[in-house]
Amino acid sequence: GENVEQHPSTLSVQEGDSAVIKCTYSDSASNYFPWYKQELGKGPQLIIDIRSNVGEKKDQRIAVTLNKTAKHFSLHITETQPEDSAVYFCAASGGGSYIPTFGRGTSLIVHP
Amino acid sequence: DAGITQSPRHKVTETGTPVTLRCHQTENHRYMYWYRQDPGHGLRLIHYSYGVKDTDKGEVSDGYSVSRSKTEDFLLTLESATSSQTSVYFCAIRPGDRGTDTQYFGPGTRLTVL
């Protein structure tokens, strides 16, 4: 089955800095890669996703890049703000299965 | 929360007692999922449903059962709760239109088994 590794587990940045979270996956058949943001006491919320026919996708301050050859994808947050502080999860699915495999999460802390 | 509610939101129970968690959706989506979230483990799939009365096991299904008698409700039952089932439980739906993989999560239920 699919295996998703996510790094780092904790990321601490100053407000205004950029943050990068990286994930690798094992199944070359995976073709859908969502990212979720989870604030304290809430459920994960989809913030951006990318499919394997696209190399990069942006939405305001967040972007996701995908390298199919290396089987890794990354979340980039620019100009971080304290409200970006949360746990971020990556996931991968595809190859006929719509059930995603999740990474273990990254706790992002943005210091004012 | 994509029209998803979970009840109860918090529950404390004792070892050996039965517990049922409810997930309710308002948009008639076909696919529903139950996950548990534990520190260091991320989200792990317990059971899922692909229609009324159609369910299947996930990665960590031991000790759990599910039922789906109506499109809008997906129930997760712990027949005899154990302390290892202390966790936060999330329900998710997948709209499934155009073959999309995207899942949307409910607000979660925090369960403590003493």
Candidate from A13-17, B2-6, B76-80 with smallest mean pLDDT: B2-6
| One-letter amino acid of B26 | T
Percent of chain A with pLDDT strictly greater than 90: 88
**B2 falls in which pLDDT band (50, 70, 90)?**
low
**Cβ contact B31:B25 at 8 Å:** no
pLDDT value at B65 more than 70: yes
Per-residue pLDDT reduced to its tens digit, A22-46: 999 999 999 999 999 999 999 999 9
Computed on alpha carbons and rounded to an integer, the radius of gyration of chain A in Å comes to 13
Q: Which residues of chain A does B94 touch, with a Cβ-Cβ cutoff of 8 Å?
A: 98
Q: DSSP per residue over B39-101, as a string?
A: TTTEEEEEEEEEETTEEEE-TT-TTEEEEEEETTEEEEEESS--GGG-EEEEEEEE--GGG--
Q: Which of A60, A67, A78 is nearest to A33 (CA)?
A: A67
Q: Is A14 on the interface with B (CB under 8 A)?
A: no
Tokens (6 digits) for B36: 């548990």
DSSP assigned state of B36: E
**Cβ contact B30:B96 at 8 Å:** yes
Per-residue pLDDT reduced to its tens digit, A42-67: 999 999 999 988 889 999 999 999 99
A·B CB contacts under 8 A? 47
Computed on alpha carbons and rounded to an integer, the radius of gyration of chain B in Å comes to 13
> Does B101 contact A36 at a Cβ distance shorter than 8 Å?
no
Alpha helix positions (H), A1-112: none
The partner residue sitting opposite A43, judged by closest CB among B1, B42, B58, is B1
Per-residue pLDDT reduced to its tens digit, A76-104: 999 999 999 999 999 999 877 788 999 99
Per-residue pLDDT reduced to its tens digit, B19-59: 999 999 998 898 999 999 998 888 999 999 999 999 999 99
